[in-house]
Structure 1
Amino acid sequence: RQLLLERHLMTHIQQRTGPSSPEYPAAPAGPAPRPVRRALLIAVPVTAAVVAAVVAVNTFGGAGAGGTGGGAGPENGQRVAAPVVQLEPGDTQPVSSVAEKVSRAAETQKFTAPRQDQYIYVKSKVSYLSIEENVDTNERRTMVQKLHPREVWLSPNGLKGWLYEPGFQPEDGISLDGDVEGWSYNKVSALPTDTKALLDRIYAYTDGDSSRDQQAFDTISDMISEQLAPPKISAALYRAGAKIPGVVVVDHAKDAAGRPGVALARTDEQTGERREWIFDKQTYAYLGSRGIQTKQFDDVKPGTVVERTAILTRKIVNKKKSHTPAP
């Protein structure tokens, strides 16, 4: 039953369908990308959601839900009802203007490139979707992880790292050594800064298994979240994201820390989840992201917030687990 449930959940999380963009037809595939961002964040959020659902089998009101029984894993007792907000419609008119302000802000940020023996440290506050399902009664509950801190250390080449996520991973954290997939600093910093060339490169990493426009938007999401990029690359990524069909501006958005901002967003055609990149309204600095359900999907109602993140710290350090900025 656990194996069937895991397959069911992974299908809902990873499987997408949709047409190719006429502006960016299918391109020769590059290195195989990871799944959607929920899996890309060091593959932990999806794993946590699957584990949470599996251990919740037949335990509504029991150990799996209450956190006092055995065998529920590190996420035991760390799930709450998903918040629901009033859904604000997006607007296509200000997309170019907002994207340009965000890009200009990114171009002026102070930046020092990391050495290959250093680490990119990102501290954030996060909450991801966590499904509880009773396979005997076929009951499902849409839950989310409690808002919690998350710290990650990544080497520029992506070959070394460490993840600390108390309550959701082993107490001391887990090693990310050998985690060679995804977008490392070295890969991101080698991208072109020309908007058209960059977008062509991003679309080259998509496939025909789902909406290529959504895949492109999610790919940029991965690069601007738990990663570091040179200012000109960051600016190009925002300009490229604004060119993806379906992108809108949401005037009122909040990150996981409760900070208000304006968002560039896109709704997944299949699942109805809208992924929002949230920026400070004054400085246009990137704050974090939010995922909101825009239509009924399984038991997830419109307005349900299925994902929240807030970037609190991003800096270069000399070794794993260090919080001291490199001089």
Structure 2
Amino acid sequence: MNDRTSGPERAEREEMARLLPAPAERDLPPGRHLHHKDTLMRLIDQDGDRATARPRLLRPAVLLPAAGLALGGVLLTTLAVTGQDSAPAPSAAGTGSAATAPRGAAVLLDRIASVASKSGEQKPNGDQFVYVRTLTAENEGMFDGPVKLTEPREREVWMTQESGPVTDEGLIHQDGSYIPITVGVPDGEKPVGYPAGLSRPTYTWLASLPTDPDALLRRLATEITTDQDARDTPAEDRDPDRDAFDTIGELLRETVMPPRTASALYRAAARIPGVTEDPDAVDAAGRHGIGVARDDTRAGWRTAWIFDPTTLEYLGERSYLIRDTSMGRKGTLINRSAVLERAVVDALRERPSAGKPSTTT
């Protein structure tokens, strides 16, 4: 296992190791399974037999625990970034320690929630697909080494809106290739599809979530802890606040969101401790916006959702290091994305037309 700590943190860790019995070796900063199962399953099947991909592929690189390694072996991760080498250093405000987000972030999220509740609604039926076009760049470096960024590239996804369970979830188009999003099936086992839910958030499932922020946080916590990845993570390695923030961010990224649900998610985020403002965040398309951010102090990075400063419309996401790690120096970008278009379409590979409703940012 590679040690990502340095300086005082390393000295403290070595002293603890000397005084305490050696812990069971782990290969992952805690609680990260939920964000990396999707990438792992895609890469397993790129080996040969099956084309398995999951839609959420924009998380920073970490090592996979032994339980995850049993699923498929090597994990390489995709990171979304721009061609820039670094991001502004985190603000002095740091991570809040109150029971909810600091007042500035809470006020901003309340404004964003109000705008989201009044946005136009695109309501797909079960025979249609949610289409989302984004701009990303990827890390081609080793998962435990310095970030090596590609040029920004376009990515399209089509996600079925069937309630499920389904084994054929949709399609990804990237780098000139179409990659089916299918559920991997071990040899000799019966296919078991994914129902609509946290791992496959259809419009209908999103609309079924509670709109009371506290009830919504409790529902998400239940969904997270019943997810297979969470079950594979020891309780002592979990961070409910981090998981809630990351899960909301994932739900915002490649979905068409019911307005009431979007509003509730933003109001719920305002109740997560440690959420702050990131005053000038830039997405993968170069658009400047205002960020809603939270630090993962254990992993050493900050993740920010980016919103248009005038319309408060969601633009994308970025992550950058808040301290020196094996991935790079403090301020290094490790994740950036930009949502360019969302729509409801009738078939795989169909793109929004002038005669059909779509949202272009």
Same fold (TM over 0.5): yes
Structure 2 residue 301 is matched with structure 1 residue 292: no
Q: Tell me, what secondary structure is at the counterpart of 1:132?
A: coil
Q: Which amino acid in the other structure matches residue 110 of structure 1?
A: G
Q: Secondary structure at the match of 2:139?
A: strand
The equivalent residue for 1:89 is 91
- Partners of 1:43 and 1:119 in 2: CA distance: 13
**In structure 2, how many angstroms separate the alpha carbons of the residues matched to 1:244 and 1:128?**
29
Q: 1:111 aligns with which of 121, 128, 150?
A: 121
C-alpha change, 1:42 and 1:143, in structure 2 (3 Å) is: same
Aligned length, in residue pairs: 268
Structure 1 unaligned regions, length at least 5: 6-10, 19-32, 51-74, 134-138
Measured on the aligned residues, the alpha-carbon RMSD in Å equals 3.2
The secondary structure found in structure 1 opposite 2:142 is: strand
Q: String of CA shifts for 1:65-97, please: whole Å, max 9, x gaps.
A: xxxxxxxxxx9xxx9986112214165331111
Change (3 A) 1:112 1:259: same
| Secondary structure of the corresponding residue to residue 144 of structure 1 | coil
Q: Do the aligned partners of residues 227 and 89 (structure 1) sit closer, same or farther apart at CA in structure 2, a change above 3 Å counting?
A: same
Q: What does residue 219 of structure 1 align with?
A: 247
Letter in 2 for 1:260: H
Structure 1 residue 242: deviation in Å?
A: 1.6
- Report deviation, 1:300: 1.8
Taking structure 1 as reference, are residues 82 and 298 closer, same or farther at Cα in structure 2, changes over 3 Å only?
A: farther
Shift of 1:241: 1.0
**Hey, what's the Cα distance between the residues in 2 that align with 1:224 and 1:196?**
18
- Tell me, what secondary structure is at the counterpart of 1:35? helix
| Conserved 8 A contact 1:128-1:144 | yes
1: distance between equivalents of 2:324 and 2:214? 35
Tell me if the contact between 2:82 and 2:284 (Cα under 8 Å) persists in the aligned partners: no
Q: 2:90·2:322 contact (CA, 8 Å) conserved in 1?
A: no
State the 1:98 CA deviation.
0.3
In 2, Cα distance between equivalents of 1:279 and 1:80: 17
- Stretches of structure 2 that go unaligned for 5 or more consecutive residues are 3-25, 41-52, 63-76, 94-101, 184-192
* Aligned match of 1:146: 151
Deviation of the 1:210 alpha carbon: 2.5
SS of 2:316's equivalent in the other structure is strand
**What SS does structure 2 have at the residue aligned with 1:110?**
coil
- 1:315 CA drift (Å): 0.5
- Structure 2 partner of 1:58: none
Note closer, same or farther for the CA distance 1:251–1:90 as it changes in structure 2 (3 Å cut). farther
Q: How much does 1:299 deviate? A: 3.9
Q: Which residue pairs with 1:176 in the alignment? A: 181
Q: Which residue of 2 aligns with 1:161?
A: 170
Matches of 1:217 and 1:305, distance apart in 2: 19
Q: Give the 3 Å change call, closer, same or farther, for CA 106–213 of structure 1 in structure 2.
A: same
Alpha carbons of 1:182 and 1:243: their partners in 2 closer, same or farther (altered >3 Å)?
Answer: same
Q: Secondary structure at the match of 1:312?
A: strand
Say if 2:352 is the partner of 1:324.
yes
Query: Partners in 2 of 1:221 and 1:121 — Cα distance?
Result: 18
Partner of 2:265: 237
Instruction: Give the SS at the match of 1:263.
Output: strand
Distance 2:141 2:244 in 1: 26
Aligned partners of 2:119 and 2:59: how far apart in 1? Answer: 35
1:16 matched to 2:30 = yes
Distance 1:183 1:311, change over 3 A: same
Post-superposition CA distance 1:221-256 (Å, at most 9, x none): 110001122100000001111211110011111111
Residue in structure 2 matching 1:201, options 219, 231, 234 = 219
SS at match of 1:316: strand
Q: More deviation in 177-186 or 107-116?
A: 177-186
CA distance in 2, matches of 1:37, 1:254: 27
Partner-residue secondary structure (3-state), 1:105: helix
Superimposed CA distance per residue, residues 109-157 of structure 1 (whole angstroms, 9 cap, x where no aligned partner): 1103101000000000012333238xxxxx9432123210000000123
Give the direction of change, closer, same or farther, for the CA distance of 1:231–1:48 in structure 2 (3 Å limit).
Answer: closer
Which deviations, in whole Å up to 9, do the C-alpha atoms of 1:5-31 show, x marking residues without a partner? 9xxxxx76x53269xxxxxxxxxxxxx
- Overall identity of the aligned pairs, in %: 28
TM-superposed deviation, 1:176: 1.2
**Does structure 1 residue 250 correspond to structure 2 residue 278?**
yes
